[in-house]
């Protein structure tokens, strides 16, 4: 039973001095910052974005922090709620598989809002985000797969602890105040998977962010919680998992965050390894899709129940289809662009015809981050490729992928400008970082 130690370890994490944070972790945090700004801006016109902005705009109040797509600034707690929700609207943000969740959409909105409110530097925001995200990942691992299976959404639940840690650090809370913030958010953290497929899913990310800000803001003012609302008796872990196992979360070196994965395609994550393997084939040989006789795709069996719609009819269905996204990749349709997934696309005769050549098979020997593809050409020759998303991507390749994604979502000029702003963010204030949401 390691859970009771969780509080002490979270407190230790929150107190790591900036000089002890590795540059490799910071580089990855910067990638996530760029990606988070990209998907936030790209999701800014979604119906749910309009609704949540309307709520916080109607409330108004102290102009402390920026909301994507809103001119007046609003209180930090409200900005965190709105930005968390909007940034997860496209479900195109980063994922940490061990956490079983999306770290950036829960933690970044809290860090940014509190950083803006307190007029901190962008570097302080980035460090607080990194430590908060690390906290959310480790709490997510402690909660484990059983928590997720029970119906809870780690992005929201574990995310709230990360958000409160990031907020507490930026508010420069004492150790005791940080403890109260973390304990208090234990009674506030929530989020269920029944919301998947509705606006409630992105809302869950907003909850995590705003809960974290609220708990830290109260602790800063002297609010007293119980000793350990995280791993203590009847604390969050105790109430939300059936059995607390000896967890590996805390025995691993910093930073688990470095294993975060960024989505480079605007479709279900279960398709990404396949699309990367196909892109690899295209890079290696000038593969003409008209010359393909058959394409075989092998993936872990779990994905066949998730994203194997054979003949998608809508843009949304296309996002869950091996046949359609494989055809898109080989015909050069940009799978990173949100707007290409349309009902019209699903009626494109070339894509539909190609889809019939695709054979998707289950291979229990493959992990759920891997895919193997092989192509038989009309001349009888064969090509094969394998990709595993778990393998670390070289930073330059990740940069290339994220910038291509930003171009697909925001356009060439905006993507270039955003990249250079984020690359130079060490010289920015948190408020200048906030401006990037609405450039």
Pairwise CA distance, residues 282 & 325, whole Å:
14
Q: Which stretch binds a copy of itself (CB under 8 A): 106-114, 220-228, 310-318, 398-406?
A: 220-228
Backbone torsions φ then ψ of 297, nearest 5 degrees: -120, 130
Residue nearer to a copy of itself on the CB measure, 22 or 198: 198
Residue nearer to a copy of itself on the CB measure, 223 or 374: 223
Q: Which stretch binds a copy of itself (CB under 8 A): 183-191, 246-254, 268-276, 427-435?
A: 183-191
Q: Does 75 bind a copy of itself (CB under 8 A)?
A: yes
- Least Å distance, CB 223 to a copy of itself, is 5
Q: Does 225 bind a copy of itself (CB under 8 A)?
A: yes
First to last CA, the chain: 48
- Least Å distance, CB 321 to a copy of itself, is 23
Backbone torsions φ then ψ of 101, nearest 5 degrees: -170, 180
Pairwise CA distance, residues 96 & 259, whole Å:
7
Q: Does 113 bind a copy of itself (CB under 8 A)?
A: no
Strand 292-299 with 358-362, pairing: parallel
The neighbour count for residue 45, using CB atoms within 10 Å, is: 12
Interaction residues for a copy of itself, span 135-164 (CB under 8 A): 150-153, 156
Q: Does 357 bind a copy of itself (CB under 8 A)?
A: no
Q: Does 198 bind a copy of itself (CB under 8 A)?
A: yes
Interaction residues for a copy of itself, span 234-263 (CB under 8 A): 234-236, 238-239
Of 89, 189, 292, 418, which lies in the binding site for a copy of itself, with binding defined by CB under 8 A? Answer: 189
Q: Which stretch binds a copy of itself (CB under 8 A): 8-16, 18-26, 53-61, 368-376?
A: 53-61
Backbone torsions φ then ψ of 171, nearest 5 degrees: -85, 0
Of 197, 332, 349, 364, which lies in the binding site for a copy of itself, with binding defined by CB under 8 A? Answer: 197
How is the chain split among helix, strand and coil, in percent rounded to 5? 60, 10, 30
Residue nearer to a copy of itself on the CB measure, 54 or 290: 54
Is 39 buried (19+), middle (13-18) or exposed (0-12) by CB count in 10 A? buried
- The 8-class DSSP code of residue 99 comes to T
Per the rule left: phi > 0, alpha: psi between -120 and 50, beta: everything else, 153 is beta
Is 89 buried (19+), middle (13-18) or exposed (0-12) by CB count in 10 A? buried
Residue nearer to a copy of itself on the CB measure, 181 or 336: 181
Q: Does 314 bind a copy of itself (CB under 8 A)?
A: no
DSSP bridge partners of 308: 321
Q: Tell me how long the chain is.
A: 439
Q: Does 218 bind a copy of itself (CB under 8 A)?
A: yes
Q: Which stretch binds a copy of itself (CB under 8 A): 193-201, 305-313, 348-356, 371-379?
A: 193-201
Of 1, 15, 27, 59, which lies in the binding site for a copy of itself, with binding defined by CB under 8 A? Answer: 59
Pairwise CA distance, residues 99 & 96, whole Å:
5
Residue nearer to a copy of itself on the CB measure, 151 or 392: 151
Per the rule left: phi > 0, alpha: psi between -120 and 50, beta: everything else, 380 is left
Q: Does 391 bind a copy of itself (CB under 8 A)?
A: no
Pairwise CA distance, residues 145 & 158, whole Å:
12
Q: Does 195 bind a copy of itself (CB under 8 A)?
A: yes
Q: HSE (CB half, 13 Å, CA atoms) of 217?
A: 18
List contacts with a copy of itself (CB under 8 A): 47-48, 51-52, 54-55, 58-62, 75, 77-78, 150-153, 156, 183-184, 186-200, 203-204, 207, 214, 217-218, 221-226, 228-229, 232-236, 238-239
């Amino acid at each position: 039973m390691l859970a009771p130690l969780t509080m002490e370890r979270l407190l230790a994490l929150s107190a790591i001095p900036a000089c002890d944070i590795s540059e490799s972790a910071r580089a990855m945090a910067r990638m996530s910052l760029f990606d988070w700004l990209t998907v936030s801006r790209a999701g800014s016109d979604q119906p749910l974005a309009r609704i949540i902005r309307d709520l916080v705009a109607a409330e108004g109040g102290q102009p402390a922090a920026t909301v994507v797509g809103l001119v007046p600034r609003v209180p930090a707690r409200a900005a965190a709620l709105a930005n968390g929700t909007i940034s997860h609207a496209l479900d195109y943000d980063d994922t940490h598989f061990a956490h079983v969740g999306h770290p950036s959409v829960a933690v970044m909105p809290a860090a940014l809002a509190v950083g803006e409110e307190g007029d901190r530097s962008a570097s302080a925001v980035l460090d607080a985000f990194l430590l908060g995200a690390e906290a959310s990942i480790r709490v997510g691992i402690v909660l484990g797969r059983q928590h997720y299976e029970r119906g809870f959404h780690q992005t929201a639940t574990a995310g709230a602890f990360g958000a409160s840690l990031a907020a507490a650090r930026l508010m420069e809370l004492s150790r005791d105040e940080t403890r109260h913030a973390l304990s208090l958010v234990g009674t506030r953290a929530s989020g269920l998977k029944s919301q998947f497929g509705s606006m409630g899913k992105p809302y869950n990310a907003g909850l995590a962010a705003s809960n974290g800000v609220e708990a830290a803001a109260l602790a800063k003012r002297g609010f007293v919680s119980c000793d350990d609302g995280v791993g203590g008796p009847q604390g969050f872990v105790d109430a939300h998992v059936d059995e607390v196992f000896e967890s590996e979360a805390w025995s691993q070196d910093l930073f688990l965050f470095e294993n975060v994965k960024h989505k480079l395609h605007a479709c279900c994550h279960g398709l990404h390894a396949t699309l990367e393997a196909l892109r690899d084939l295209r890079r290696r040989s000038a593969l003409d899709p008209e010359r393909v006789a058959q394409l075989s795709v092998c993936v872990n069996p779990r994905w066949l129940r998730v994203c194997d719609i054979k003949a998608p009819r809508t843009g949304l269905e296309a996002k869950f289809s091996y046949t359609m996204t494989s055809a898109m990749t080989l015909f050069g349709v940009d799978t990173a662009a949100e707007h290409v997934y349309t009902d019209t696309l699903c009626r494109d005769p070339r894509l539909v015809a190609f889809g019939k050549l695709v054979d998707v098979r289950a291979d229990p020997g493959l992990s759920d981050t891997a895919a193997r593809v092989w192509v038989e050409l009309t001349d009888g020759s064969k090509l094969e490729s394998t990709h595993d998303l778990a393998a670390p991507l070289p930073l330059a390749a990740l940069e290339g992928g994220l910038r291509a994604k930003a171009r697909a979502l925001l356009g060439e000029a905006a993507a270039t400008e955003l990249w250079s702003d984020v690359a130079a963010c060490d010289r920015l204030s948190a408020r200048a970082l906030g401006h990037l949401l609405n450039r």
